[in-house]
């Protein structure tokens, strides 16, 4: 999980999360992940389509590119919005979070834990540089 987190957090600026929207794929940029209690977390707003799609089917694919290498993570995003400590970690990580409405009492503040993940980092030629499961 360490190589995966480092790639997403430190080597790229944007990570793309793909979900299923009905019977079609949907993809959008996501911000930095947060490492908390040995797990990778992400957040969004419950009113966004991505949150609705993850509620319907929490199997996602995350892809990012750092200019040389790229990563693909097939995983589930587990809703842990009742995990107050994870929410505190997200708020602490991003100085803009509270101003954007991500507060502990905000009902639309959704926190996801990446689970059942298979992560592969590739070079531009498709050679596998690293694989992790977590």
| Regions in the chain scoring below 50 on pLDDT | none
HSE-CB for 58 with a 13 A CA cutoff:
13
Taking alpha carbons only, the member of 40, 38, 61, 42 closest to residue 51 is 42
pLDDT score, position 31: 86
Q: Are 21 and 53 in contact (CB under 8 A)?
A: yes
Domain-by-domain residue ranges, the chain? 2-133
pLDDT score, position 32: 86
What is the CATH architecture of 2-133? Answer: Roll (2.30)
DSSP class of residue 13?
Answer: S
State how far the Cα of 127 lies from the Cα of 124, in Å rounded to an integer. Answer: 7
Taking alpha carbons only, the member of 119, 2, 124 closest to residue 60 is 119
State how far the Cα of 50 lies from the Cα of 110, in Å rounded to an integer. Answer: 11
């Amino acid at each position: 999980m360490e190589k995966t987190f480092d790639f997403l957090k430190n080597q790229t600026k944007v990570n793309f999360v793909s979900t299923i929207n009905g019977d079609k794929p949907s993809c959008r940029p996501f911000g930095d992940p947060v490492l908390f209690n040995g797990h990778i977390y992400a957040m969004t707003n419950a009113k966004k389509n991505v949150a609705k799609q993850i509620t319907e089917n929490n199997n996602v694919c995350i892809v990012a590119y750092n200019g040389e290498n790229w990563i693909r993570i097939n995983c589930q995003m587990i809703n842990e919005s009742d995990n107050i400590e994870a929410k505190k970690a997200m708020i602490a990580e991003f100085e803009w979070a509270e101003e954007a409405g991500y507060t502990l009492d905000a009902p639309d503040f959704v926190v996801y834990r990446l689970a059942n993940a298979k992560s592969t980092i590739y070079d531009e030629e498709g050679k596998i540089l690293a694989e992790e499961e977590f």
